[in-house]
Structure formats: C-alpha cells, structure tokens
C-alpha cells in the first residue's frame, strides 16, 4: 500500500486524558456509559475514547485525536454530525420554547410530515426512544387482542430495555419468571418455526415483532406469509423500523418490501441524533390509546418530554431533507464503495473468510473470525485496536450521508494496513498482538 509510511507516522497512540476520565465515568455512571454498546468492555482496554465533538463523518476525543466514525451514533446519525439543516431548524425552534402545558402546533406538523411517508399508518404517537415506542406497540397489541404473550424474532438482537424482552436474554437478573414466560421466539426466514410457535401457544400470542431485514433479505415471501399467519391466528403483525427506517427506503423497509404492518416503530435516524421516536399504525388499534373510543382505556406513551419541540423540529427538517435529496441512494452508494474496497483488501490478504462486510450497504457490519472461521471477540478486539490506531472509530461499517469519497478511500487504505496485523495474528496467535483484554459480548450473565 502506498500510504503505509504516512499512516504509520500519523498513528494514534495517546489516550492520557481519556484514560484519566475513565475512572470518573465508572465512579458516577454504572458501566461507565448510558448505552451498553458504548461501554468500556466493547472497546480495546487502553483506548477508552471519550468524544468531545463531531462534524460530518468525523469525531474528536478528549486527547484531540481525530477519527472517521463508522458507527454513526449507533445508527442514529444518518446525515452527519452537527448537520447544518437539522441544527438550524433546532436552533430556530429553541427560540420559541421547548415544552408547554398544552400541545404545540409543531406536533401536528410533525405528525403530518411523518405520516406522509409511511404507507398504511393512520396515526402516530411520538416519544423519546425506541424501547418506549416498541413497548407501546406491545401494550396496544395486548389490549387489542386480549392476549398476553409476545412473539419476537430470535434472529434479531434487540427490541427493548424493558422486562418482556430483557427477560429473554442472558442479562435477565431482576426480572420475574412470570414475565419471562410471556415471551416466545421464532426464527427469521423460517415460517415453519413460526407455525410451530403458534401451534404450541394457541390463542395466547398478541403479536409478532421483528425487523423486516437484518442481514439477509426475506425469502420466499416470508414477511407476507408471516403476516398472513399472524392474522389467521388473531395476532398483530409489528415491524420494528428503528434501524431500517430512514436507511432502507424513505418509507422504511416496509416500503421496500411492499408490506403494510398493523403497527410499526421508528427512531434512531429519525431526528439525525436528536431524541425522537414514533409508534405508528392503523386507526382502530392506535385509537385504544385515545379518549374518543368506548373500550377500556390504554395508557399509551404519556411522557413529559415526548413532544419536545426542538426534537420535532429535527424530525421535520430530517424528513424534508430526505425528500429533497437522494439520501437513501447516497447511503447505498457510499456503503457499496466501502464494502467493495474492504472486501478487495481482505481478499488481497486471503482474509475474506475472516473479515467480510455483511448486510445491505446502507447499514452493513463486518465479521471478525478466527483461524477456524468462527466469530471471535479477540479478533474483533484486534481489528478495533488496529483501526483505532489509524484514526478509524469503527465498531461497524455504518455509513452516513456525510461520508465522502475521500473518507471512504482513506478508510479502505487504513483497514488494509490493519488487516496485515490481522493476518499475522492468525499465523502467530492473536494474544501476541492484543494490547489488553478482549472485548466481551453485551449479552452475558456475569461480568
């Protein structure tokens, strides 16, 4: 590679201020972060980056180190950090007030703008995070069907921070067994597993929830057949668009795959990093959370900060920017360039069965496999370690609208250099090259 010398000279090695902050973070915040995916155990031991600012596709840490970021704020920042059209809209709205004792007119404006892009949804209710939106869908489904059980896709890693989901994970401490028994699972692209699930729980399942796609696309009409199965058994069909919304299609993955769910949940990139999420769906279901029906009332997403006006302004500006610009097309285009370049680098070192890009280009991730081609936390740590040294903050390969060609090319070159170390570690042993302990999976019972 032509840039080996320059990259080596510019290599990041100083984390003094971040290391100093690490103890303070852990003293005051359980786990040292407010999101498990951002925790110390998810990154190399002696490289605890604490971000101070971001602009476009780049971020800077407490030590002044600069990185091209490929996590895009856990997929919440699809346009770019400190993106001017969004910040301008938020800044203007803040001058008008952030929260009131009665609904603000911007709430209606945001609802109209949002529903204009979501086919089949008649009503929407906004909140602050994905978990609350998903929990609202679960509560509505239970109220609508009179049933208690929830069926979720076992192939998808996360739906909510609340008990009905966390009780199904290895981190189920503090969750009653009675709650755990109300959640069951099926497998993606495996209709037979869903059929068996319904057969084993006749008349008990309120809803099925899944993402339209994670890595593999739906095959053999899976989504449509699953919806038919749900309705045949009296259950609701819920799509989680937290990740797929604002990345797969401007109308979400449901638009891409031409399927209308009973309820859908949105968030992440909806406000380009600002805290806003949404529950949308059919009127007869959503109205259960209203005040004009004659059925038993449902307490649905009543939160003090659910209608903060600046978050609404961010969502409106975000949606309008998507409508006026080819955001989705650019995500696919830049993601494809990144995938092609990294895969060429991986093949160059005969690592394509170890480090590979998987998933759609608009929202891809990479594999990190050992000499037996098995997923490896140690090799993931090594990859993170070597890419961070070279100015890449790369827990995934999530692209944003702001990632330009130069940043894509620079990333490919630096990944190629990091893969030389990966190749050596496969031949000589990964422990020889790791600087500190390995990262660990979030879902584990003990530390």
Do residues 277 and 405 both lie within one domain?
Answer: no
H helix intervals, 77-176: 84-94, 105-115, 130-145, 163-166
Q: What is the pLDDT of residue 158?
A: 86
Do residues 124 and 272 both lie within one domain?
Answer: yes
Query: Is 282 inside a domain boundary?
Result: yes
Q: Number of H helices and number of E strands within the chain?
A: 16, 13
Q: Is 215 helix (H, G, I), strand (E, B) or coil?
A: coil
Prediction pTM value? 0.93
State the Cα–Cα distance between residues 132 and 128, nearest whole angstrom: 7
Q: What is the pLDDT of residue 365?
A: 96
Sequence length of the chain is 447
* Residue 245: DSSP 8-state: B
Do residues 182 and 274 both lie within one domain?
Answer: yes
Q: Is 44 helix (H, G, I), strand (E, B) or coil?
A: coil
The CATH number covering residue 281 comes to: 3.40.640.10
Q: What is the DSSP string of 255-295?
A: HHTT---SEEEE-GGGGTTSS-EEEEE-HHHHGGGSSS-SS
Examine the fold and report which residue of 307, 342, 364 is the final residue of a domain before the chain moves on.
307
Do residues 142 and 255 both lie within one domain?
Answer: yes
Stretch (H or E) spanning 310 = helix 309-324
- Show pLDDT as tens, one digit a residue, over the chain (447 residues): 333 333 444 688 899 999 999 999 999 999 999 988 899 999 999 999 999 999 999 999 999 999 999 998 999 999 999 999 999 999 999 999 999 999 999 999 999 999 999 998 999 999 999 999 999 999 999 999 999 999 999 999 889 988 888 989 898 999 999 999 999 999 999 999 999 999 999 999 999 999 999 999 999 999 999 999 999 999 999 999 999 999 999 999 999 999 999 999 999 999 999 999 999 999 999 999 999 888 899 999 999 999 999 999 999 999 999 999 999 999 999 999 999 999 999 999 999 999 999 999 999 999 999 999 999 999 999 999 999 999 999 999 999 999 999 999 999 999 999 999 999 999 999 999 999 999 998 888 888
Pairing relation of β-strands 58-61 and 51-55? antiparallel
Query: Is 375 inside a domain boundary?
Result: yes
Do residues 221 and 347 both lie within one domain?
Answer: no
Do residues 240 and 293 both lie within one domain?
Answer: yes
Do residues 170 and 24 both lie within one domain?
Answer: no
Do residues 155 and 289 both lie within one domain?
Answer: yes
Do residues 354 and 297 both lie within one domain?
Answer: no
Q: What is the pLDDT of residue 182?
A: 96
Overall number of domains in the chain: 2
Tell me which residue range forms the domain holding 344.
4-81+326-432
Do residues 146 and 273 both lie within one domain?
Answer: yes
Q: How many CB atoms lie within 10 A of CB 17?
A: 15
Pair 78, 326: CB distance under 8 Å: no
Query: Is 312 inside a domain boundary?
Result: no
Q: What is the pLDDT of residue 8?
A: 44
E strands along 62-214, which residues? 66-69, 123-127, 149-153, 183-186, 205-210
Query: Is 56 inside a domain boundary?
Result: yes
Q: What is the pLDDT of residue 9?
A: 46
Do residues 180 and 145 both lie within one domain?
Answer: yes
Query: Is 76 inside a domain boundary?
Result: yes
State the Cα–Cα distance between residues 370 and 328, nearest whole angstrom: 34
Query: Is 374 inside a domain boundary?
Result: yes
What secondary structure, in 3-state letters, does 345-400 show? HHHHCCCCCCCCEECCHHHEEECCECCCCCECHHHHHHHHHHHHHCCEECCCECCC
The CATH number covering residue 363 comes to: 3.90.1150.10
Stretch (H or E) spanning 343 = helix 327-348
Do residues 25 and 137 both lie within one domain?
Answer: no
State the Cα–Cα distance between residues 103 and 302, nearest whole angstrom: 12
Query: Is 438 inside a domain boundary?
Result: no
Query: Is 90 inside a domain boundary?
Result: no
Q: What is the pLDDT of residue 421?
A: 97
* Structural tokens at position 317: 């500006």
Examine the fold and report which residue of 307, 340, 371 is the final residue of a domain before the chain moves on.
307
């Amino acid at each position: 590679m032509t840039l080996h010398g320059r990259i080596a000279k510019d290599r990041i090695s100083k984390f003094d201020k971040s290391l100093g902050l690490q103890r303070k973070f852990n003293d005051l915040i359980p786990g040292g972060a407010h999101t498990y995916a951002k925790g110390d155990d998810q990154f190399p031991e002696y490289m605890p980056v604490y971000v101070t600012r971001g602009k476009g596709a780049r971020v800077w840490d407490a030590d002044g180190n600069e990185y091209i970021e490929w996590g895009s704020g856990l997929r919440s920042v699809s346009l770019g950090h400190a993106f001017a059209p969004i910040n301008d809209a938020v800044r203007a709205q803040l001058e008008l007030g952030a929260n009131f004792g009665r609904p603000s007119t911007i709430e209606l404006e945001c609802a109209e703008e949002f529903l204009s892009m979501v086919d089949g949804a008649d009503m929407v209710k906004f909140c602050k995070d994905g978990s609350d939106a998903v929990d609202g869908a679960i509560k509505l489904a239970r109220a609508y069907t009179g049933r208690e059980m929830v069926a979720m896709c076992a192939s998808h890693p996360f739906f909510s921070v609340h008990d009905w989901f966390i009780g199904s994970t290895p981190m189920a401490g503090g969750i009653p067994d009675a709650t755990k028994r109300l959640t069951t699972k099926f497998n993606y692209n495996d209709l037979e597993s869903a059929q068996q699930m319904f057969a084993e729980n006749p008349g008990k399942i309120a809803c099925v929830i899944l993402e339209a796609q994670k890595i593999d696309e739906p095959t053999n009409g899976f989504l449509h057949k699953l919806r038919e199965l749900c309705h045949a058994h009296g259950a609701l069909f819920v799509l989680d668009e937290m990740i797929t919304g604002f990345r797969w299609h401007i109308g979400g993955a449901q638009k891409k795959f031409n399927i209308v769910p009973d309820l859908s949940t949105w968030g992440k990139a909806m406000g380009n990093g600002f805290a806003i999420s949404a529950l949308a769906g059919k009127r007869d279901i959503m109205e259960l959370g209203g005040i004009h029906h004659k059925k038993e009332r449902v307490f649905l997403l009543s939160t003090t900060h659910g209608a903060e006006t600046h978050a609404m302004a961010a969502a409106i500006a975000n949606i309008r920017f998507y409508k006026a610009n080819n955001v989705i097309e650019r995500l696919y285009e830049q993601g494809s360039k990144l995938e092609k370049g990294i895969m060429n680098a991986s093949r160059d070192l005969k690592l394509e069965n170890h480090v590979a890009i998987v998933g759609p280009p608009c929202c891809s991730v990479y594999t990190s496999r050992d000499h037996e081609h098995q997923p490896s936390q140690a090799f993931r740590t090594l990859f993170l370690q070597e890419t961070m040294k070279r100015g890449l903050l790369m827990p995934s390969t999530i692209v944003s609208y702001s990632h330009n060609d130069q940043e894509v090319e620079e990333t490919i070159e630096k990944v190629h250099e990091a893969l030389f170390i990966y190749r050596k570690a496969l031949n000589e042993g990964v422990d020889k090259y790791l600087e500190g302990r390995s990262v660990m999976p979030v879902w584990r019972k003990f530390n």
